[in-house]
């Protein structure tokens, strides 16, 4: 088996494990689990050196990536996956930790993800405020 085949096989195994975790948990769509990893990669890519990221850093990276990738539909996409608040990302992360698909330190707590930002504010109000012409919602 070539090294490329091994990488592909590992990716397929990882995706199957991710699907299994999402199915067992049942609260969130597989897209939410994948997006947590996308957000983690996005966050790590912004660091000057490789290191563990905190819940706050991960949530900021997820927020920024969601705005970049989905624009004004970010909140709608996240909610379609069952993610309605930052604590949902904490549930996903700690589910992944529990199944060995993500790591944590002794200092990391599930509660670190609670009430970090309000989805309506960051994905609706702040997004519109950043647009040219300063569109306002009333």
Domain-located, residue 136: no
Domain-located, residue 98: yes
DSSP letter for each residue of 14-42 = HHHHHHHHHHHH-SS-HHHHHHHHHHHHH
Domain-located, residue 99: yes
Show Cβ contacts of residue 57 under 8 Å, excluding neighbours closer than 6 positions. 43
Q: Which pLDDT score, from 0 to 100, does residue 129 have?
A: 73
Show Cβ contacts of residue 118 under 8 Å, excluding neighbours closer than 6 positions. 85
Domain-located, residue 137: no
Domain-located, residue 102: yes
- Residue pair 133/73 in contact (Cβ under 8 Å)? The answer is no
Q: Check residues 45 and 134 and name the one with the higher pLDDT.
A: 45
- Domain total of the chain: 1
The 10s digit of each residue's pLDDT in 71-124 is 989 999 999 999 999 999 999 999 999 999 999 999 999 999 999 999 999 998
Instruction: Give the domain range for residue 62.
Output: 3-130
Domain-located, residue 60: yes
Domain-located, residue 138: no
Rg of the chain on CA atoms, in Å: 16
């Amino acid at each position: 088996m070539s090294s490329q085949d091994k990488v592909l096989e590992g990716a397929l195994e990882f995706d199957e494990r991710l699907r299994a975790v999402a199915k067992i948990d049942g609260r969130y769509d597989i897209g939410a689990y994948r997006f947590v990893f996308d957000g983690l990669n996005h966050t790590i890519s912004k660091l000057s050196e490789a290191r563990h990221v905190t819940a706050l850093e991960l949530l900021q990276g997820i927020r920024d990536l969601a705005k970049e990738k989905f624009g004004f539909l970010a909140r709608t996409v996240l909610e379609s996956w069952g993610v309605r608040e930052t604590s949902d990302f904490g549930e996903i992360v700690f589910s992944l930790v529990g199944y060995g698909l993500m790591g944590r330190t002794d200092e990391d707590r599930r509660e670190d993800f609670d009430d970090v930002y309000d989805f309506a504010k960051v994905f609706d109000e702040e997004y519109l405020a950043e647009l040219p012409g300063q569109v306002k919602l009333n």
